[in-house]
Amino acid sequence: ETGVTQSPTHLIKTRGQQVTLRCSSQSGHNTVSWYQQALGQGPQFIFQYYREEENGRGNFPPRFSGLQFPNYSSELNVNALELDDSALYLCASSVPDGQETQYFGPGTRLLVL
């Protein structure tokens, strides 16, 4: 068990809609990263939050945005959904213990029709 939970587990949306995905990690895990994993591919880095501020961003458009809250939970928001946004969305959290190993949650599978 990684102590990282995500909700919902599955979600179906239509093109143009907006979606919010949620992640909750253990106390003390003040760094959270979000990844997109298309079917049959490795995860791709979307962005990272540290102490509620964005701390790095991958090659994703601004319609992908996020928030991190003081209770170590986090949100990924995607506006104007496109068919290619269909994927498994993973969050990973780490603790600043010198090792900073990233532990992944089970993911949210998003299908855009």
Partner 1 sequence: GENVEQHPSTLSVQEGDSAVIKCTYSDSASNYFPWYKQELGKGPQLIIDIRSNVGEKKDQRIAVTLNKTAKHFSLHITETQPEDSAVYFCAASLNAGNMLTFGGGTRLMVKP
Q: Where does this chain bind partner 1 (CB under 8 A)?
A: 2, 4, 6, 31, 33, 35, 40-45, 48, 56, 58, 90, 92, 94, 96, 99-107
Judge contact between 109 and 8, C-beta under 8 A.
no
Question: How far is Cα 22 from Cα 87, in angstroms, rounded to an integer?
Answer: 15
Structure tokens at 90: 């993973």
| Closer residue to partner 1, CB minimum distance, 14 or 101 | 101
What is the token pair recorded at 100? 């900073």
Please, what is the minimum distance in Å from the beta carbon of residue 18 to partner 1? 24
Please say which residue, 24 or 33, places its beta carbon nearer to partner 1.
Answer: 33
